[in-house]
Structure 1
Amino acid sequence: MKTRKRAVAFEKSGYYFIGLFLLAMAGFWPSYFAKFFDGTADFTFYFHFHVFFAVLWIFMLIAQPILIFQKKFELHKKIGKLSYILVPLLFISIILLAHSTLRGPQENLGLELWVPAKDLLIFSFGYGIAIKYRHTMTIHARGMIVAGIVLIEPALVRLILYTFFPNEGFALSGYIITLVILYGLLFALIVAERKQKTGRWVFPFALALYVFVHSILVFQIRIPPWQAFAEWFAALPLT
């Protein structure tokens, strides 16, 4: 008797992205949201600009699979087309925020800029897959999930650092814990998808990209061309 190959129920992923929204709120609460209540919010326009579009993106991640689950395909397509406007604006917000916060010594600019750049790289992979295969729902959904997973790291690492390492600033051990959780999630998706014939390459490819980008940060690998680009970027009159 053959066992039925069960695929991940991607159409229900919107409910999991509600958890992502709550994680983002918890992770950024001490450093951003709470400051509006204690009167210490002194953020530049670029912070608010980025938060606005990041929240809109999370709301889209929540709504789209729920609409598929409810068979509201036309509304799903209409909202999906809005991503052609939202995603470029989200990219611009990340670029402007990164430029406005580059304040470290010049020799560290490459690694400092790599933090947002790696997120843009993974996001571009996930969103690019989703758009290229927008007519193949199973692959499209995997791409959108990768584009959503990108948002987990910045929120989760802040939550872990504030909770378990409140007096240490940036603790490498807290970052490693974040990576273990993130990689555990990707491994779980790979295992769950191991018997599928369509699109199971998406999550392994995403994992390989994550290993690449994180290796540069964890091992402080300096790439001269990237360092030169970071110095050029920091000197631009953008913010």
Structure 2
Amino acid sequence: MKSTKRTLLFEKSGYYFIALFALAIAGFWPSYFSTFFDGSADFNFYFHFHAVLAVLWIFMLIAQPLLIRRKQFALHRTIGKLSYVLVPLIFISIILLAHNRITGEEENLGLSLWIPFKDLLIFAVGYGIAIKYRHRMPIHARGMIVAGIVLIEPALVRLILYVFFPDAGFAPGGYMATLVILYALLIGLIIAERNQKQGRWVFPLALGLYLFVHSVIIFEISIGPWQAFSEWFAALPLT
């Protein structure tokens, strides 16, 4: 019975990722998608490049568990192999976008770059777990879920700020509300998985990573090597 529940949970995760897609559209609607309708879109290539790849990634997250549910295993494996191309491109898009958004006026360059790179770190861990354990479904699926959860924070924080703090620009309360929801989700997954025999370490690992990366932001922790890397990165002629 436990095995059946576990399988059904992962097979249905495609439907949850449909909700994630809706969240992404809602979160980025005011600042990005709506501008194509009112004629105010003035984004450069790096924004569009990243947006297209992020949408493709969500579509992949939706399709893969649905294909497993329909027992289309060959197509599932084929699409999975496409991720070997898509994921490196996503990494490149994040790096280029982060570099392009550097203005040279950041009071704390390390902290400014930490925000996009923290998502890259957790995404890499989740995807890396999924690929390493691609032949062990319970662990593979959890890794993919972690790689999908990374998309929640940037979309949700924008949605909360737009709905509840429309004139504030950035409101710490909106950011903290986003973190509360994110941590509630992770803790809920950990509790739901507490009796499983395989892969139950994946979500606690993700929780630990989030606690670390968010502590650096909230407490403005200065990490010497990261600051040195940030200065080197900003000086690169990438964008």
- TM-score class, shorter-chain normalisation, is over 0.9
Aligned to 2:229: 229
Aligned to 1:135: 135
Aligned to 2:126: 126
Aligned to 1:186: 186
Mapped partners of 1:15, 1:186: distance in 2: 18
Which AA in structure 2 matches 1:126? G
Mapped partners of 2:225, 2:13: distance in 1: 39
Aligned to 2:165: 165
Query: CA offset at residue 103 of structure 1?
Result: 1.6
Distance 1:87 1:4, change over 3 A: closer
Aligned to 2:28: 28
Runs (5+) with no aligned partner, structure 1: none
Aligned to 1:152: 152
Aligned to 1:209: 209
Runs (5+) with no aligned partner, structure 2: none
Aligned to 2:94: 94
1:5-154 correspondence to structure 2 within 5 Å: 6-7=5-6, 9-103=9-103, 105-154=105-154
Which AA in structure 2 matches 1:29? W
Mapped partners of 1:223, 1:170: distance in 2: 24
Q: Is the 8 A contact 2:50 2:94 kept in 1?
A: yes
TM-score in terms of structure 1 length: 0.97
Equivalent position SS for 2:175? helix
Deviations 1:34-76 (A, max 9, x none): 1111111110100000001000000000000000011100000
Query: CA offset at residue 195 of structure 1?
Result: 0.4
Mapped partners of 2:49, 2:108: distance in 1: 26
Which AA in structure 2 matches 1:206? A
Mapped partners of 1:24, 1:227: distance in 2: 31
Q: Is the 8 A contact 2:106 2:112 kept in 1?
A: no
Mapped partners of 2:104, 2:139: distance in 1: 40
Q: CA RMSD in A?
A: 1.2
Equivalent position SS for 2:21? helix
How many residues in Structure 1 have an aligned counterpart in Structure 2? 237
Query: CA offset at residue 107 of structure 1?
Result: 3.8
Instruction: Detail structure 1 runs of 4+ shifted over 6 Å in the superposition.
Output: none
Mapped partners of 1:104, 1:224: distance in 2: 19
Which AA in structure 1 matches 2:35? K
| Percent identical residues | 74
Q: Is the 8 A contact 1:104 1:112 kept in 2?
A: no
Aligned to 1:218: 218
Q: Is the 8 A contact 2:18 2:62 kept in 1?
A: yes
Q: Is the 8 A contact 1:106 1:231 kept in 2?
A: no
Mapped partners of 1:13, 1:50: distance in 2: 24
Q: Is the 8 A contact 2:64 2:79 kept in 1?
A: yes
Mapped partners of 1:180, 1:197: distance in 2: 28
Distance 1:4 1:70, change over 3 A: closer
Q: Is the 8 A contact 1:24 1:152 kept in 2?
A: yes
